[in-house]
Structure 1
Amino acid sequence: MRRRIRPLTAAAAALALLAAVVAAPSPASAASGLTATFSAADNGSWYQDKYVISNPTTSAVTGWTLEFDLPAGVSMSNSYNGTVTRTGNHVTVVNAHYNGTVAAGATTEPFSFWFIATGSAAPPLNCRINGNKCDGSADRAPGTPTGLAVTGKTTRSASLQWTAATATDFPIAGYEVLRGDTVVAGVTGTTATVGGLAPNTAYTFAVRAKDARGNLSAVSATVSVTTLNPADDTTPPPAPGAPRATGKTATSATLAWTAVTDPSGIAGYDVYRGGQLATTTTGTTATVDGLTPLTTYTFTIKARDTYDNSSAPSNAVTVTTDDVVGAGKYAKVGYFVQWGIYGRQYFVKNLDTSGSAAKLTHLNYAFANLDPKNLTCLQGVTKGTTSNPQDPDQGTGAGDADADYGRPFSAAQSVDGVADTGWENLRGNFNQLKKLKAKYPDLKVLISIGGWTYSKFFSDAAATPAARAKLVSSCLDMYLKGNLPVSGNAGGPGTAAGIFDGIDLDWEWPGAEGHAGNHWGAQDKANNLALFAEFRKQMDELTRSTGKRYLLTAFTPADPAKIAAGWDISKADGTPSVFDYMDFANVQGYDFHGAGSDNSWEPNRTGHQGNLRGDAEDPYPFHFSAENAITTYTDAGVNPRQLTLGFAFYGRGWQGVTAGTLPDGTSAYGEWQSATGAAPGQFAEEAGTRGYSNLLAMVPGCTVRHDTQSVATYCFTGNGGQWWTFDDTWSIAQKSAWARTRNLLGGMIWEMSGDTTSGTLITALDTGLPAPR
């Protein structure tokens, strides 16, 4: 694909030039120093509400963010000279590219931010510029907490309570407990327990409030406490009774138990996971977080009295965590292809308008590439693949940063109907994914790395511990932390933060042939396992700093030979499996047969591309089916709730197909019959392939038939004509019902653009894998 450069219009160019004259940049100041002045001009049926940004300092300030709240009765519509986001009545405005630098002593005029307001000329409330009051006045400190008192103590802790402070300019965000000048605890409420103290020792504490802006109150009056002497009580309390699990998720377990008593009082209960302390509570329930899906854990509870004597452990309670979507629910994983915005004219918005986004649980963005030299995740380049599918370098160094985060989309192409200006740091598909997630907050979005033409260098990147660590670190930095390389005027640190909830590995194929020119070898199987372990390790490390758990999934083969060559899936021998590290695998349920765009695959005989079961008439020397693929995994001990079955939203076709006959003498309607090559495709470079919707519309006279033996759908135009194999609502219903009987996690779709505008196929899958009622 050629990179498409957004032209700078004459008006925009003149605007940028004039802005440079009005506010010529000089060395920027680290401090804000800006103020903002509001005015409202009455235009009859509407008001021009305007903020002029001023810089009263002696140094230029680059970059400003204006925030305010619309008063009751005031509505805001079109805005100018700034990028607006809204949460209810709260408005945030980021400078435009041409008015972001305000020179010393200058203002943003004549390019100040303004908007059309209706209802009244009342000024907005709570105005802030770069976090400071718009009038330049200082924030008032919050009130001082009062009534500090000791409410309890043990040999190593002291419990405190106080009366809430009074808020001034900002709400109270929390409190800091001080021992002398040292902050020893931070809480959001009006109680705190300070631990880590020495037994039988006197301490003095005070407390101060902190508001949402970080302003601190004066320090309260002090209170003194002496911790207990452990020599005064050496008798432990009894063990807690009736431990039980009262709830669980994929990553947590909730426990309860019966309270115990002690003459000195019970200070709390300690919950142990195995032999390690997991959490502490003063009540008789606790939730242990940070667990791994589909994993069995054993917990015990100990009571602890105020002299820190611990009881014997309670009886053990065992909990197996849920899968990633929850018991009784099904995953529906759809691939969105980066290049769909071109010939297919399929945008992220189409996921919304078709109803697909509301039905999907996970969306995989395809594909990210590997840097051929650095062996890291590759972004920031716009270089298309070659048109020759047998070119060993077809995908080498390729990528489309323009489609990912550089291309401005029009209002008609945008999820929320708001057009890109072309100057935002984040545009393109990534920005649309961000908007889609805002509309569907339960939808998980993953970046898919690899694919058919981008898997060439996986073997090299996974070859050594150092190489694996380097690759994983780069991918997490780029996609989970969101630090996109600058491409044109897009990208930069943190620009993609929060878009991706995990990583989907699409190495095609470790230990086996894939695309022409791919690097592979027998060592790939062990290195693939180690790569998954490294991803899980670094993702869990990131979780400890962000508090968010990240998903790790994979696209895995249907061919038992490819599974054996590259995927350590055995759960029976006690050694690690890739499924110990990934959340689930999307098992290839299609492409069992096909002619290929260059007739290099199977041009001379038709065959089902996604049959559920085997077919007695299948003449091929190998026999693929979705059932055999899934059974290969489950027979190795893989939990079926870690498997989704792939569905094709496209068809594969042949031309010059003979009708043929079945053993009973009736017509075979082209099934398993001879052909002369790939049928014309939806696109010239993709012979033998059409999206489902395109196939129905553009192959006239193709009579749809259903093979009930193999559970496969096909259509035939007549002797000497075209024969196509694909999924439709019938086959999806049959296969999803089978998936339910096998207790699979759900289904996966390659890929979403093939569906109809009304989402015919995703609706069939959603019906076949229903949400619990």
Structure 2
Amino acid sequence: MRTPSRTPSRTSALLAAATLAALLAAPATAQAADAAAAQHHGLQGQRVGYFTQWGIYSGFSAKKVQTSGQAGKLTVLNYAFGNVSSDGTCFEANAAGVGDAWADYQRPVGADESVDGTADADAQPVKGNFNQLRKLKAVNPQLKAVISLGGWSWSKYFSDAAATDASRRKFVSSCLDLYLKGNLPGVAPGAAAGVFDGIDIDWEYPGGGGDPGNVVRPEDGRNYTLLMQEFRRQLDTLGAVGGKEGKGGKHYLLTAAVPANETKADRLEIPKVAKAVDWLNLMTYDLHGTWETATDHNANLYSDSADTAADNRSYSADRVVQHYLDRGLPPRKAVLGVPFYGYGWTGVPAGSKYGLYQTSTGPARGGNLPYNQLKDLPGTVHYDWLHGATWKYDGTEFWSYDTPELLTRKARYASWNGLGGVMAWALDNDDAQGSLVSALDKGLEG
């Protein structure tokens, strides 16, 4: 997402101008205007949160999704990630950098870490995160769980899996067999059925621009469409006969995480993909970061003409949204992505905007921190209402991240524009009270 084109969309420019006029007239009413617009246009309501497989190793668990209040405010939990093998199938394994079946379904979860306070029994076939997802859904009837495939590290073989009709059929069948039919290796057939309610594709990225080791083909964009259509076909077939207790009629979700980068987005056949999916999760973050030496926004809502970035000047979440809508994505199938983390620089002079668009001596504290740590760092939080951005500056460190107030406004923006809802990466970056998920929920409720 680091080299988008530089041409702002017409709608973005009009929205920015309208916002400027409103702020000049009555700066204190900006939030009220957002809320009124949300109520006028009606609410959508998807609240998607990514749960990371590896979060358990740093103390995060499905139980914390429950006790923080996140679970009661989410509609979909995306479990990240499932891998794609070199032979083009979904699989489970215990191998560093390849798979973590232990975390997924083999690790016995103790009573203190279990959603319902009951420990996993040694003899039960499905334990670990997958069993905890079942328990989360049991106490939160509105919540669905979706397995997300790929991500930055595990998109290497997507191109091979999508390359031919035969390979697509094989790949999709293997994923449905493993995750939806619940035929996990080493346990009784069907033991994990019912854990997941659909598939999320996080191929980063068709046509290249992801991890340097990924397989890439010029025809990836077309094959991506065909892959999504094959997923839809097989999901619908499974749903017609695979409903609860064999009654049929179950609708399995099909979603995808798609890039903010406009060049990458334009490789996708968006109108055709849109017909196959329930919605697309727009990764409207990482617009700037510590791979750049100058401070900038991670995920500002509106474009700023004063942005000094060399390669992606005047980029914004709104610009990404308008790019997808202009290319045929129905608004109701566009879900706005938000970050629960931020990027930081050190050695930053104040300049005229409290460290914004200034040089630095490099990344601060590793360059990336979750909100639950950022909120307690020293410094003053600054809110640019015009461009929908927040940051913290203490005189030397500059951190770009979304505060709860900004997230509420972004959720209202999603509602105002008739979008499908919001998506967050990732739940373990929120605080123990679920403040960020609560902020998104507040915005969608108007």
Task: Name the structure 2 match of 1:280.
Answer: none
1:627 to 2:339 alignment: no
Task: Name the structure 1 match of 2:440.
Answer: 765
Q: Identify which of 302, 310, 328 aligns with 1:613.
A: 302
Amino acid at match of 1:619: T
1:370 to 2:65 alignment: no
Deviations 1:352-409 (A, max 9, x none): 100110000111000000112x210021x11223xxxxxxxxxxxx110000001111
Q: Identify which of 345, 368, 382 aligns with 2:94.
A: 382
SS in 1 for 2:397: strand
Q: CA deviation at 1:329?
A: 3.6
Structure with more strand by fraction: 1
> Contact 1:513–1:520 (CA<8 Å) still a contact in 2?
no
Task: Name the structure 2 match of 1:653.
Answer: 344
Distance 1:549 1:362 in 2: 14
SS in 2 for 1:657: coil
Task: Name the structure 2 match of 1:672.
Answer: 357
Structure with more helix by fraction: 2
Deviations 1:441-481 (A, max 9, x none): 22111000000101011011101111111000000000110
Deviations 1:662-704 (A, max 9, x none): xxxxx22111111122211xxxxxx21111011123x2x2211
Task: Name the structure 1 match of 2:38.
Answer: none
Distance 1:370 1:590 in 2: 25
Q: Identify which of 195, 200, 208 aligns with 1:499.
A: 195
> Contact 1:641–1:744 (CA<8 Å) still a contact in 2?
yes
Distance 2:361 2:151 in 1: 28
SS in 2 for 1:688: strand
> Contact 2:43–2:445 (CA<8 Å) still a contact in 1?
no
Task: Name the structure 2 match of 1:10.
Answer: none
Closer, same or farther in 2 for the Cα pair 1:734/1:442, shift >3 Å? closer
Q: CA deviation at 1:725?
A: 0.7
Distance 1:465 1:740 in 2: 38
> Contact 1:407–1:427 (CA<8 Å) still a contact in 2?
yes
1:695 to 2:370 alignment: no
Q: Identify which of 230, 239, 242 aligns with 1:543.
A: 239
TM-score with structure 1 setting the length? 0.51
Q: CA deviation at 1:328?
A: 4.2
Aligned residue-pair number: 397
Deviations 1:568-596 (A, max 9, x none): 114xxxxxx1011001001011111111x
SS in 1 for 2:322: helix
Radius of gyration: which is bigger? Answer: 1
SS in 1 for 2:445: coil
Q: CA deviation at 1:716?
A: 0.9
Gaps of 5+ in 1: 1-326, 386-397, 571-576, 596-600, 661-666, 681-686
Amino acid at match of 1:376: T
Deviations 1:683-733 (A, max 9, x none): xxxx21111011123x2x221111122211100121xx2111111112112
Of 347-356 and 617-626, more deviation after overlay is shown by: 617-626
Distance 2:438 2:60 in 1: 18
Gaps of 5+ in 2: 1-41, 243-247
Q: CA deviation at 1:646?
A: 0.5
SS in 2 for 1:709: coil
TM-score with structure 2 setting the length? 0.87
Distance 1:611 1:460 in 2: 35
Distance 2:111 2:266 in 1: 49
Distance 2:413 2:43 in 1: 15
Distance 2:222 2:80 in 1: 25
Query: Pairwise mapping of residues 564-575 of structure 1 onto structure 2 (< 5 A)?
Result: 564-565=266-267, 567-570=268-271
> Contact 1:656–1:676 (CA<8 Å) still a contact in 2?
yes
Task: Name the structure 2 match of 1:726.
Answer: 401
SS in 2 for 1:342: helix
Distance 1:769 1:403 in 2: 33
SS in 1 for 2:266: helix
Distance 2:83 2:345 in 1: 31
1:482 to 2:182 alignment: yes
> Contact 2:289–2:296 (CA<8 Å) still a contact in 1?
yes
Q: CA deviation at 1:518?
A: 1.3
| Greater relative contact order (CA < 8 Å, ≥ 6 in sequence) | 2
Distance 2:297 2:217 in 1: 30
Amino acid at match of 1:377: C
Task: Name the structure 2 match of 1:114.
Answer: none
Alpha-carbon RMSD across the aligned residues, in angstroms, is 1.3
Q: CA deviation at 1:349?
A: 0.5
> Contact 2:296–2:400 (CA<8 Å) still a contact in 1?
yes
Deviations 1:321-363 (A, max 9, x none): xxxxxx84411000000000012x1100111100110000111
1:712 to 2:397 alignment: no
Large movers: runs of 4+ above 3 Å: none
